[in-house]
Structure 1
Amino acid sequence: MARRRGGRVPTLGRGEGGDDRPKGRSRRRLLPFNPWHLALAPMAVLFALPLVWLGLSSFMSNAEINRFPPALFPSSPHLDGYTYVLRNAEFPVWFGNSCLVAGATVLSNLVLCSLAAYGFARMRFRGAGVVFGLLMATLVVPFQLTMIPTFLLMRQLGLTDSLPALIVPNLVSAFGVFLLRQFFLALPPEFEDAARIDGCTRLGVLIRIVLPLARPALATLAVLTFLTTWNDLTWPLIVISTEHNYTLQLGLTTFTGQHRSQWSAVMAGNVLTTLPVLVAFLVGQRNFVASLTSSGLKG
């Protein structure tokens, strides 16, 4: 082979035949899908079985649910459980209370956590690291240590046995501030600097530039806050005593008693309670990976 000027011989690519692709990619896969699916698919089916049985048992009678060995499929499907839930109980009122509490909590967390997170991410002030460290330290404090002081505070404010008592303690969360701060740190500051040069204020930069770019993080925070508030039972059990102010999780406990339990109604109520959670997860699942991956790029 003739040599070029400089005495170097032209070489082929890294792979054989001049192919730069790694050898692992050039090999033909034996399976049409990722091999990890062989392990993940059975686990997904295993975790979905309780939810499937919950939906099937909601169409059973109390006798079928209490039968041993338990029945997997209803022999004669009926809607007695759903009828009992919707007619003989204040289930629609409880559903509305849960929607109001969850919606107000999600909205307040999106607004307040965004303001606090942007301040910690972009604004420099004395003691910012100490304040942020103290805020993060509250994440390790269990709720069992704060529920009594929080209850006393709600009683001093006159909010006990009311829906505001479920909203006010959850207006902002330390985890939400941390999540949004990490996401804001991963955003390039050039767009914000250009907006500031054009005369935009700090608040205007946050609303017009930062928040539209932080939609994955905001959606993730909204879904996580909704799930936490919707499924909360301990705090409503402490602060709410009137049945008309019950949330769904608290109202479902009235279907079980010491001597007799309406298991068909319990199953039907759990199905109706789980549906909003599934919808929220399906709507926000695409934003989880994008948010949680980019939120840890910078400390």
Structure 2
Amino acid sequence: MTTDIPVLAPLRRSPVARRKLLVFTCFLATAVTLTPIVMMVLVAFQSDTESMQTKPSFWPSSWHTENISRAFDLVPIGRYLLNTVIFAGGTTILETITAALAAYAFARLTFRGREVLFGVYLATLMIPTQVTLVPQFILVAKLHGVDTWAGMILPHAFTALGVFLLRQFFLGVPRDYEEAARLDGANRWQTFIRVIVPLAVPAIATLAVFKFISQWNNLLWPLVISNSDATRTASVGLQVFQSTNGTQWNLLLMAATITTVPLILLFFLTQRWFVKGITMSGLGGR
């Protein structure tokens, strides 16, 4: 007498059925993820009246492409996008440099208390960002960094997550490569630059993409530290847009669509490095 449930038994026996179930699950998850984005784009091209209806029809009756120019006229979206590139790009460059150096030290250098120090460093990941926001702001304010690029970028140029990710990759690199370079006369710095860094390009690219995306969407710190259009990022600019122009859903969502396009392009340009980096640098180190 079998204990198999009749409905589930064919799924366990048939690879085709399992594959179809997997495809359906992936399709359902993709649809749930993309639905808000598609709705945002559709409403962005609606008229003012249509977007403010009590029961809106998300498919626009007519496409109002002039909403793009109207959104740019109401707030300096171009300036906000440039500021976001500077902020996200600056923090990304600095973190990849500092994380690579610190990760190599924790992975290859031997010094007293290394493991304890690394454990304490990783423990900072458990501290919510909101807890350190006020002390961080007070420190930056005392250093006259409010509404400056240095005050915006430097506090986010060092994170334990980046060090952990790269350290795991460096631990997986055979020491034979470094020993061969040392035998050829290279010092530790030359070994790091000429041997380790080229091998770690996928991992570094993954870290850079993660960092850039997170900082592009960062709202809390730029909102606190920025006081003018000279340093406001796109996420803060959307808040300014809503507060100054009211809830004009079509224009607000058009501005949100414009600020989302660069991230979509970034993903398509870097997806090969992104997937390769996830595969090679993941958590498989020793």
TM value normalised by structure 2: 0.89
SS in 2 for 1:41: helix
Matched, 1:254 2:210: no
Tell me by how many angstroms 1:292 deviates.
3.8
Q: Which runs of 5+ in 1 are unaligned?
A: 1-26
Matched, 1:298 2:273: no
Matched, 1:58 2:44: yes
Higher-Rg structure is: 1
User: Against the structure 1 CA distance between its residues 259 and 202, is the aligned structure 2 distance closer, same or farther, given a 3 Å change threshold?
Assistant: closer
Aligned to 1:91: 77
Aligned to 1:12: none
Tell me by how many angstroms 1:159 deviates.
0.8
Aligned to 2:100: 114
Distance in 1 (alpha carbons) for counterparts of 2:46 and 2:202: 41
Deviations 1:139-172 (A, max 9, x none): 0011111111111111111110122221010112
Find the partner of 1:203 among 185, 189, 205. 189
Find the partner of 2:230 among 241, 244, 249. 244
Aligned to 2:137: 151
Higher normalized contact order (CA 8 Å, seq sep 6+, divided by chain length): 2
Conserved 8 A contact 2:52-2:248? no
Aligned to 1:282: 268
Aligned to 1:20: none
Aligned to 1:42: 28
Deviations 1:54-112 (A, max 9, x none): 11111112221121322121111112321122223211111111011111111111111
Conserved 8 A contact 1:81-1:268? yes
User: Against the structure 1 CA distance between its residues 124 and 242, is the aligned structure 2 distance closer, same or farther, given a 3 Å change threshold?
Assistant: same
Distance in 2 (alpha carbons) for counterparts of 1:99 and 1:258: 24
Distance in 1 (alpha carbons) for counterparts of 2:77 and 2:14: 57
TM value normalised by structure 1: 0.85
Counterpart residue type for residue 213 of structure 2 = L
Distance in 2 (alpha carbons) for counterparts of 1:149 and 1:104: 22
Tell me by how many angstroms 1:120 deviates.
0.5
SS in 2 for 1:210: helix
Distance in 1 (alpha carbons) for counterparts of 2:270 and 2:18: 28
Aligned to 1:162: 148
Conserved 8 A contact 2:79-2:229? no
Deviations 1:238-257 (A, max 9, x none): 11112332110001112223
Q: Which runs of 5+ in 2 are unaligned?
A: 1-12
SS in 1 for 2:185: coil
Counterpart residue type for residue 118 of structure 1 = Y
Q: Percent identity?
A: 35
Aligned to 1:270: 256
Aligned to 2:87: 101
**For structure 1, which segment, 80-89 or 186-195, has the greater mean C-alpha deviation from structure 2 after superposition?**
80-89
User: Against the structure 1 CA distance between its residues 35 and 286, is the aligned structure 2 distance closer, same or farther, given a 3 Å change threshold?
Assistant: farther
Find the partner of 2:160 among 154, 174, 193. 174
Counterpart residue type for residue 250 of structure 2 = S
The alignment of Structure 1 onto Structure 2 pairs a total of residues equal to: 273
Counterpart residue type for residue 48 of structure 1 = L
Counterpart residue type for residue 93 of structure 2 = L
User: Against the structure 1 CA distance between its residues 259 and 156, is the aligned structure 2 distance closer, same or farther, given a 3 Å change threshold?
Assistant: closer
Aligned to 1:230: 216
* Cα root mean square deviation, aligned: 2.1
Aligned to 2:68: 82
Distance in 2 (alpha carbons) for counterparts of 1:71 and 1:113: 48
Counterpart residue type for residue 194 of structure 1 = A
Aligned to 2:202: 216
Conserved 8 A contact 2:222-2:233? yes
Distance in 2 (alpha carbons) for counterparts of 1:84 and 1:184: 50
Aligned to 2:5: none
Distance in 2 (alpha carbons) for counterparts of 1:37 and 1:149: 48
Tell me by how many angstroms 1:28 deviates.
9.3
